[in-house]
Amino acid sequence: MRNQRRNKVEKPKDFKASMKDLIFFLKPYLIPIIIAILLAGIGSLFSIIGPDKIKEITNIIIEGLSTTINLDKIKELATFLITIYVLGAIFVYIEHFIMATVTNKFSKRLRSEISEKINRLPLRYFDKTPYGDILSRVTNDVDTMSQTVNQSIGTLVSSLTLLIGSIFMMFYTNYVLALTAIFSSLFGFLFMMIVLIKSQKYFEEFQEEMGNLNGQIEETYTGHNIVKVYNGFNKECEEFDKINANMFKSAFKSHFFSGLMQPFMSFIGNFGYVSVCVVGSYLAINGYITFGVIIAFTIYARLFTQPLSQLAQVATSLQSAGAASERVFVFLREEEMPNEDNLKEKLDKTKVVGNIEFKHVSFGYDTDRLIIKDFSAKAKAGSKIAIVGPTGAGKTTLVNLLMKFYDINSGDILIDGVSIKNLTRENIHELFIMVLQDTWVFEGTIKENIIYNKKNVSEEQVREVCKTVGLDHVINSLNNGYDSVLSDNETLSAGEKQLLTIARGMIENAPFLILDEATSSVDTRTEELVSKAMDKLTEGRTSFIIAHRLSTIKNADLILVLNEGNIIEQGTHEELLKKKGFYANLYNSQFESVSKNN
């Protein structure tokens, strides 16, 4: 996983496609967005009208210095200014309220889409992608997108309205001063475009490195105990510092370039302001314009340059959002598991007999490397099938194929004569009880963990199952018994967690059972107790047991010995020992290792 993370798995990228996807996701909210845009534009238009009225007030006051000041006209203009500025503020408030509502709904929908997408992705994707990187897309990237939509759309519209409106009003007032203000600001436009082009790649690198960093943190703290045991703290810190340094470089470059725009645009704005004052003074002295025009133009110059600074900020936000949306929509465009809506066959788990047949199954995680090669076997209803073999022989892979976690390359698997290719994954999963080597408990009560996704289960049934697996006395020793909440501070040992997952499997009433190293985390005494519970659990069910401890599968009806994806031996425990072949060597080697250790 480390190497995969360093190699930055998520290629290829398609910025244009991501933007199209973003627009598609915003479609349901187009009406409120359009209303918000109109409100933002109208609010900005009110700001543009103001300077023209201030010009009139200034001219009235100057004329009044030589005669009398028309106070009634000034009151009329002042009332008009107050009205339009108050209306502008109200429209901007409503625009912000609408955009806040829209963006929260947008981010909620986007997270829901990602959550549903995760359930539709094949296990292959999770084999090659760090979990922390996926979490970063759900949290950081979606937040970046929603904040940008919230803050930038209104600002973008109001800034463009101010920019275009102020240009129009400047030319309407005096074309010479208008050209002066525009030409003095051209450098700002050119500079902003250059910075945008140069800095976009750094924003993309920053979002990507953030995903890498989250992946490293998730991986390290998931295996925190192992890191401590092997004194790997310094090594993990070095790995963290390396990724963090890469993130710092991309963050520094992206923010440095984008940070240049704000002060430069301020300088351009001040330069334009000074240019207007100088040229305006010359025109006023020579009688071409009044003093009120200069006052109005100084305000227009501010209104003209202010949007440029705002557009620079919006451009920075849009760059971050563009990089984030690319990561999110690349994820949403990942190849999914085949759609199964056309599969109409369904097996009723209450009527399933329990026969399973593997017919010339071949499979490989990579097309050029097969793990399972021409595998064929039959499991009769109610039989107990043990699958053994060295590490990498393909034992767990067989189970994954049976559960349709992966699609086989060739061959077929039949359940009661029905091909799993004609059955939905959901239907197949409800036919199986599965107890894995890796225990999984969630934060909730013990009872909730055992009942997980099972309806109409009484507390008496839960207690009975826990007594069967020998967990009842452990639970009763806790403060709240079956209502004790399991969390990071819970007191269950690894073996007790394994017993809990076994109890969870026993609650489920299904015709097939898969035990993948289910007793690997328990001690010998507990293993004996669990084995007895397993014997009860396997009664009347077709069971597949993957085990490294061969002593646990002596009573299996059939033992399949796998090596390099092929069945090299099969038979009962006694039959295989008499052959003195591969299985016998495996079985005897366990006792040899025990005697050497003693």
Bridge partners of 20, per DSSP, are: none
pLDDT digits (tens, 9 = 90+) for 483-529: 888 765 556 777 777 788 888 877 877 888 888 776 665 666 666 66
Residue written as tokens 């007793």?
Answer: 519
Can you name the residues that pair with 559 across neighbouring β-strands? 386, 571
What gap in Å lies between CA 26 and CA 86, rounded to an integer?
Answer: 30
Q: Which of 266, 252, 253 is nearest to 191 (CA)?
A: 266
Instruction: Determine how many CB atoms are found less than 10 A away from the CB of residue 22.
Output: 20
Closest among 121, 224, 545, 562 to 376, alpha carbons compared: 562
Q: Which residue has the tokens 């894995």?
A: 436
State the distance between the two ends of the chain, measured CA to CA, in whole angstroms: 37
- Say how many C-beta atoms besides its own lie within 10 A of residue 486's C-beta: 19
Residues 6+ apart with CB under 8 A from 87: 43, 46
Paired sense of beta strands 566-571 and 558-563, if any: antiparallel
Beta pairing class for 432-435 and 558-563 = unpaired
Per-residue confidence (pLDDT) for residue 8, from 0 to 100: 43
Into which CATH architecture does domain 14-332 fall? Up-down Bundle (1.20)
Instruction: Kindly tell me the burial class for residue 101, based on how many C-beta atoms sit within 10 Å of its own C-beta (0-12, 13-18, 19 or more).
Output: middle
Q: Check pLDDT > 70 for residue 49.
A: no
The predicted pLDDT at position 529 comes to 65
524-582 pLDDT, tens digit per residue, is 666 666 667 677 777 778 888 887 767 667 778 888 888 877 788 888 888 888 888 88
What is the separation of C-alpha 195 from the centre of its chain, rounded to a whole number of angstroms?
A: 30
Taking a C-beta distance cutoff of 8 angstroms, is the pair 567, 392 a contact?
Answer: no
Whole-model pTM?
0.63
Tell me the C-alpha distance between 342 and 529, whole Å: 45
Nearest Cα to Cα of residue 44 among 196, 154, 170:
154
Is 356-597 the same fold as 14-332? Answer: no
> Band of the pLDDT at 589, cuts 50, 70, 90?
confident
The domains of the chain are located at 14-332, 356-597
Q: What is the pLDDT of residues 251-297, one digit of tens each?
A: 787 777 767 766 777 777 777 777 777 887 878 787 777 777 777 77
d(CA 230, CA 223): 11
Q: How far apart are CA 43 and CA 87, in angstroms?
A: 7
Q: How many whole angstroms separate alpha carbon 152 and alpha carbon 316? A: 10
Residue pair 533/521 in contact by the 8 Å Cβ criterion: no
Look up residue 458 and give its two tokens: 């009484």
DSSP for 72-86 reads HHHHHHHHHHHHHHH
Distance separating alpha carbons of residues 588 and 577, to the nearest angstrom: 9
Amino acid at 51: P
Least confident residue range of 91-105, 148-162, 583-597: 583-597
Exposed e or buried b per residue across 253-288, where buried means at least 16 C-beta atoms within 10 angstroms of its C-beta = bbbebbebbeebbbebbebbbebbbebbeebeeeee
Residue 590 has what pLDDT? 64
The pair of structure tokens assigned to 181 is 């203000």
DSSP 139: I
- DSSP letter for 511, please: S
Percentage of residues in the chain with pLDDT exceeding 70? 79
Superfamily name and number for 356-597: P-loop containing nucleotide triphosphate hydrolases (3.40.50.300)
